[in-house]
Every structure is written in structure tokens, then in C-alpha cells.
Amino acid sequence: MRFYLSLCSIILTILSIGELPARTNLSITSPTTDFTTNNPTVEIRGIVESSVGGEAIVATNTPGGIPDLAQLTHSIYGVVVDLGSTQELKGMLIRHVVDRGFPRGPRLAHLAFSQTGANFSEDQPFNIPSDIDPNFHSTLVDFPSTVSARFIQIEMVEGWQIGPIAIESIQFLDTNDRVIQGQIQSIAIRLLLTDACQPDLKGPHCASFSIKVTVEAGVNRLSVIARELVPSDPDSPNAVDRETISLSYLPELKTDAAKGGVFTLSDGDRATVVIPAAAFDEHITKLQFFSVPPETIDPFSYRGNSRIVKGTAPVVVYRFEALRQGVFAAEATSALHDQPPTFAVDGILEPPSTWVAGLVPLPVSLTIDLEVQRTISRIVVYANMEGETSFGPERATLLISNDSKNFTSVLEVTVFDDQITTIELPTSPAGRYFRLEITESKQANNLQLNEVEFFDMSGAKIVSLDPLEYLILERPALVELDYRPSDLLVANVSRESDLKIFAWEGAAQEWQLLGGEIDLNRRIIRMELNFISQVALFQAVPSQMHAVWSFNPFSPDGNGIADRTRLTIVNHNTSHIGGTEPVVEIFDLHNKLIRTLVNQTVMSSNTMSVEWDGRNEAGEIVNIGPYIYQIRLTTGDQVEVRNGVIVVGK
């Protein structure tokens, strides 16, 4: 992996630090180092301490770029942009963030250029206008002469407003008036140091920061550097501090990537999940989880909960999200009824999942909705073949758009291979809608495409992903959440030993008690779950076995609303059920057995979840009315029984 940490006077060579007292100290609070994640982005959070006041600069490399420049919470100071290949440039396009009609972008910037990412040219000052060029919907900065470069270093010296500098995007214009989209390889932000430091910090001047970066497949090393904006002693090596974060990113949960049959995933902060590769089907490609600030949880969602100690708040909250590979929406000017254009973007590379155009004259267009704006650097087209005969395109034009109406030509392709054609896009255009306009085909009036694939600048495949906020697992996963003393204080927790994991049940609109085993020394609570949902740590009211339905009553009438109900069972007497045999049965009011939902399936988790679709053993929808459910948990010679009522409504 390449690192381009060449921001002039920002990312410096770190000299050996002697025993002099540190002038600048950088502390990374999150993430930790040496972890594996399935999250495509990582948020770096930390604190800069300094013995002098003023401003500080924090810079980091960004292996996969920045997910959203406009969402930076600090003033942007500089970036290094990689265009992917050497380009002949005539100008730069900057889109300012506009606040109440006023641009918050830079008014003065210094630019330097390089072919290799090192040995940048001397800084050149550029005045940045505030007006927008109607042709490009951005501010155009003309270069005095053509510049040949792959890497551009931009320092934003002065903004249009007094406050933080903020921009939405940076692009470049080549000598053919083509817009060139680059990838940000490093970024620097500007912080104001204050004397309002936390008691445990030396300071006396400090500032906290956060930067969200995109990572690339494989091993990532994030090098974070902090220094004074204007060094009080430029010759002192103690004016600079650096931390390194190492992590591995798994773009997809493929079985062959599992170690020992399991994935051990973390966000590098408070959550770790150990999940078997056999816990879900092959269509689940990601398991992402994100920390949710506890203060954003609606107090009315837990204040009246009889399982949560009154007067307390959530300690730690995480949102888990499984992602299933979906299908991009696609339209074509011609297609056979049973061979629609969506077959060309469904992830299946072989027939019969093939888009077949009708017997109509060319050109024929295939338009694909990529759901959000994407930066595309490569396209792979898979043509259908029968024996030695190819039914692919011979000549085509690639176009891109953000509104599905106004398309811009990106590239004309004059040569296609018979089966698989890889098309590199030197300008790496950004857009939501992609159009392949085929003007010639290898077989007259007979065009057949198995698939069209898209890749971003990091080489990652662009796919449609459907989020699943609740997923029942075929094998239980071990979830670990850690917390800190300050979390307990903010949540008003009085008995740390009573902390339990709760899951948010969206259908019932309540936090449901799950349980968990707590390690007070390490401040970690763990438990095995056979489902994925949003979870939180609360101080729980001590209890025994707990069971709750997601819908009660529910209505299995096929209208898509509460057609099924889910029973979640938790045994709080043990840290996990290992060896416990559960039985769940449904009876009518005459004690006639209607349905057995679970019959002595040995569970290795202290929590289980099972669904009832309102049908009896014969597969028929039962009559409307109340039914008795019985739960029996057998462990050795001990049997625990819980009875309740579940109502089937209209």
C-alpha cells in the first residue's frame, strides 16, 4: 500500500526524541490497533496536548480516501490528491460548503505538483473565487499554464469566512475539458488549542479531534501526526508527535477468509464479535457495527421499562447491520420479457442470468442506477457466449449522470473482447447513473450481456447492499462490549455487576433484556446471541428466565404487517445455556397441541429467538383468538417452565 504523506510543512520526518519534555503530545483514543473490521470506514478520535497555545495541525494518510469531505467536523487545512495516472491539467474545480448563502471554502490556497508523490514542486499561490461556474457547478480555478502531474498537494491558507474552512469536493480539469476525479491520499485538519483540558491531561493546552477515513482491502497502516501550526521552536523534535494504527479490512465475509471457521470483527473501539462463517448464507456479505452516542437514545424508550433500573441511562449502544448483496436497478431501451436488464447487474456471471436485447436496430442503451454517487475507475463487461460465438458489443460509448437526465460522455470503447472486457477509466468519473450505449454488436441485432461490474479507485467492487437490522443466525455469535468508568458515571449506574445486554425490538418498540456475563476486572460484558440487532448496556433489575414476543397480538393475514411474530427467550440463571434443551409449544384453550416451534434443540447460547407464522403443524393458518405458549428449559434433572398467552388477531 502506498502512502503519500507529503503535505508541505505538515507531515514531517520524525526525528529521534531525546529526554526533553514533549512540546506536543498526540493521544489516539479510538480506534485501538491490530484489529480486523468489516466496516469500510474508520473514525480516528484523539486528543492533542501542547505546552504552548495557538493552533495545531493533525494529519493522516487515507488509504481509501475520505467518505465525505463536507462532513468533516474541523477546519480542513490541506490534502494530497492522487489522480491515478499522470494528467495534463488546465485547472482545478472546488465545490464550497455554503452556509446561509456564504461560501465556507478557501479564498487562498497553495498548490504543489508531483509525478511520483515525492519531490513536489514549489508552492504556487492561487486565489479561489467564490462564484460557481455554470458549466461545472463548482468554482473554477484556472492554472496559468498546463500542468503535468499525478499528485496535487493543496494547502488551504485562508478561508472566505472567519470560521472553519469546509468544502464538498475537489476535482481537476484536463486540457480536453474533461473533469478528473482523484482520490484523497492524505488530509490535514486545523485545531484551536484551549486551556479547557480534562483533569487527567497535562496540557495545559489541548484539543480533541475526529477524522473519518475510508480503508482499503487488506492491511492498513494509518500514520497520524500532530504538530503546532506555527512551531515556537522549529528545530525542536518535540514539537511533533505521531501515532500509528494498524488494522485489516475484510471487504466481504467470504468463507475462505475466516480463521478457524470464524470471523473476529471489531470497530477498534468498544465492540468485538466472533461469528462463525456458517452462521449465515452466502448472500450476507457484510456485518457492520457502529457506536451510537447514548445521549441520542430517546429516554422514553427505556424510562418505563420494568427491566431497567429507574433513573439510569444506556452505558454503551451499538447498531449492528448485516448487509445482503442486492441488485442495482437497471433500464434498457430494448429487452426480452424474461431476460430483463437487471440480469446484467445481479452479481451472477453466467446464463441464464443474462440481459438479452430484442431484435431492434442499434444503438441500444443500458442505464444502471448505482443508488448514490460513485467514483468509478474500472468497468468489466461480461458478454454471453455460445461455443465460439460471442453476443457481446463491438463498439460502445460510456456516459455518466447524477440526475438520470443530463448524461456526459466519458469514453468511447472501440474494441471489445469476445467474453470479458476490462475498461479502465482514466478520469475516474463520479456519478450515480451509468449508461452503456452500444452502437455496434458482434452479432447483428443480437446482444446478450451476462454482467457489468464496477470498481472504485481503491479497486473495490461496487455492489448494491440491502441492510438487515435484524438477522437470525444459524450458529450463535459471541458479542463483547466494553465500557469505561466515565460511562457508568454518565449513565448514573450504581451497581456495575448488574449491567446486562439489551436488544432493541423495533416491532415492540422496547429494549428487551438479553443478559450477559460480566468481567468486572476488564470491564467487559459478553454473551452469545443467535441473532443480530441493535444492542445496549443498561443496569438491569435482577430477574430469572425472560421471554417476550415481538408482536402480541399478531395477524398472519399476508398483508406484510405483523404477519409473523418472534419469541426471544433468555435464561439469566447461567452465563450461557450450553447443554440446555429448550421446548417451545403452542396450545389452544382446550390444551390441544397446535404447533411445536422448538423441540429439544441443544443451544450453546443463553439467548434464542424463534418465529411463528401463525400456522399449525399441517401448515394451515390458525383461527383468530388467544393461544397458550409453553417454554420448557431442561438442564440435566432441572426443568424450568414458563407459560403465557399469544393472541392471533385479524
Cα(264)–Cα(276) distance, integer angstroms: 9
Query: Cα(first)–Cα(last) distance of the chain, in Å?
Result: 59
Q: 246 with 219: CB under 8 angstroms?
A: yes
Q: What CA–CA distances, in Å, run from 382 to 337, 412, 636?
A: 21, 17, 58
CA-CA-CA-CA dihedral for 467, 524, 41, 77, to nearest 10: 140
Looking at residue 40, what is its pLDDT?
A: 93
Q: What CA–CA distances, in Å, run from 402 to 107, 371, 556?
A: 28, 10, 42
Mean pLDDT throughout 332-360? 94
Cα(303)–Cα(83) distance, integer angstroms: 53
Cis peptide before 351, with omega less than 30 degrees from 0? no
Residue 7 DSSP symbol? -
In the predicted structure, residue 542 carries a pLDDT above the cut 80? no
Q: What CA–CA distances, in Å, run from 340 to 43, 352, 504?
A: 41, 11, 39
Q: pLDDT tens digits for 469-483?
A: 778 788 889 999 999
Mean pLDDT is lowest, of 131-135, 241-245, 621-625, for 131-135
Higher pLDDT, 526 or 543: 526
Q: 79 with 151: CB under 8 angstroms?
A: no
Supply φ then ψ for residue 635, to 5 degrees.
Answer: -130, 105
CA 506 to chain centre: 21
Looking at residue 604, what is its pLDDT?
A: 62
Residue 580 DSSP symbol? B
**pLDDT band for position 183 (50/70/90)?**
very high
Domains parsed from the chain with CATH numbers: 24-249 (no CATH), 329-463 (2.60.120.260), 544-650 (2.60.40.2550)
Strand partners of residue 627: 646
In the predicted structure, residue 579 carries a pLDDT above the cut 80? no
